[in-house]
Amino acid sequence: MKQDTHSLSVERVTALDEADMADLCEATDAAIIEGGGFGWLAPQGREALTRHFSGVLLVPERELFVARLDGHPVGSAQLLRPARNNEAQAWAAQLTHAYIAPYARGHGLAGMLVRRAEERAAALGHRVLNLDVRETQEVAIALFERHGYVRWGTHPAYARIDGRTVAGHHYYKLLDPARGRPTGTLFAQDP
């Protein structure tokens, strides 16, 4: 990691002003162009991405985290909680759409983004955080594995990119709550 003289932060946002939305849309398109895992394969442009992020902010089960470099949004991640009627899986959440724009990498923001989403998930009572990632995203895979995510499976036909079928890896991480029994002890009690 570089010796950093930049201001770095990650925050959960419930609204984005026009300038932040513009910066976030630019960062998103840059990540898409670079092959980042956002689901899109081609840049979407500001209008489409503004609609996307505005929609994300309206969904009660989604929380948006924004990574900032010198105050400007340069990446994001979403924490997806199960619907309220899914009591059986209420202890698990999903980390999705995590990326940092290529021009803002190397400062540790990706790790900060993942940790912040984990902290929030644990604070909400989730004990498991799941995610999936295309096999082509080697930097993201290394990041998640460094942060303790365990690969539990590979889907051989996960995505189609440029006419080619690409596998995807599925990961989970156990989250310990701030108080109470460590999550690992819950598995020891299973019949």
pLDDT in tens, the chain (191 residues): 555 689 999 999 999 999 999 999 999 999 999 887 678 889 999 999 999 999 999 999 999 999 999 999 999 999 999 988 888 888 999 999 999 999 999 999 999 999 999 999 999 999 999 999 999 999 999 999 999 999 999 999 999 998 999 999 999 999 987 655 566 666 654 44
pLDDT of res. 84: 85
Q: Parallel, antiparallel, or unpaired for β 128-134 and 92-100?
A: parallel
Please enumerate in sequence order all residues whose Cβ is within 8 A of that of 48, keeping only pairs 6 or more positions apart, or say none.
none
pLDDT value for 138: 92
Instruction: Please tell me the predicted confidence (pLDDT) of residue 62.
Output: 97
What is the residue whose two structure tokens read 């503004």?
Answer: 50
What single letter denotes the amino acid at residue 105? R
pTM assigned to the model: 0.90
Query: How distant, in Å, are the alpha carbons of 21, 28, 42, 73, 89 from that of 48?
Result: 12, 11, 12, 17, 32
Res 188: pLDDT = 55
Phi first, then psi, for residue 129 (nearest 5°) are: -120, 125
CATH of segment(s) 8-188: 3.40.630.30
Predicted confidence at residue 179, as pLDDT, reads 58
Antiparallel, parallel or unpaired: β 128-134 and 150-161: unpaired
> What integer pLDDT is reported at residue 191 of this predicted model?
45
pLDDT at 176: 85
Residue 172 burial by CB count (10 A; 0-12/13-18/19+): exposed, middle or buried? middle
